[in-house]
Structure 1
């Protein structure tokens, strides 16, 4: 495998893991790859955004699955209840902030729990995460 391909694959994996309930540092990987100048910035941003969006959709799916198995809201923690209220109030628009550390995972989980439209969830998650990665990438050019 070429070093360039490994860099892109590593960015994708880092972005995916960073967007699930596991902590990660995809911004640092993106910054490193932007500084290495081996790839087009737009390509790096797209790979990171897609990986991070797919990770967030995994959390969304977990929320949907949890709602089927445990429909009672009383089972949720305080943070999860707050996320649920926020997503109920704002709908898919709340997912524009899915890039936020800790809070973003709760928003995605709540959106799945509430069974928000998958299509509108994908769009909001993707757009929010893309803006974040664009800002990070251009900060390191």
Structure 2
């Protein structure tokens, strides 16, 4: 279970990971689905909140040459975020776009409690779906 938590946490940061595979593996080994859901959701949500914190902190360095986002890119992100707003965090579960969305939430100073609530809903929904799919498709194989 600790491994699942750590893999889920790392998967939510900008590091690559495969928490869904670990979740399905643990489920096949007979661990209770509810406990797996809580552990994976908590780890992945915490990882996304680390991204939010990084976004909040990174804004202090935006004038530096080494800053990874150009002023034009930051303006584009700001327009996009202003258009879709905090509700875009409901897409935080998606590969590729989810992690940058959580960083943007930090850059644009979304209050912690709203970021956490939206991220928990997104991540919890994804892991609930993964567990339902594992039960439907993997049960005969486990």
For the pair 1:46 / 2:38, whether they are aligned, the reply is yes
Report how far residue 80 of structure 1 moved: 6.1
1:23 aligned residue: 16
> Highest Rg: 1 or 2?
2
Structure-2 change in CA distance of 1:29 and 1:74 (3 Å): closer
Q: Pairwise CA RMSD of aligned residues?
A: 2.3
Secondary structure of the 1:140 match is: helix
Alignment of 1:1-141 (within 5 A): 8-37=1-30, 39-70=31-62, 75-76=69-70, 82-141=76-135
Q: Distance in 2 between matches of 1:106 and 1:36?
A: 33
Report how far residue 63 of structure 1 moved: 0.7
Structure 1 runs not aligned, ≥5 long: 1-7
2:139 aligned residue: none
| Count of aligned pairs between the two proteins | 133
Q: Which moved more, 1:86-95 or 1:130-139?
A: 86-95
Q: Distance in 2 between matches of 1:18 and 1:105?
A: 9
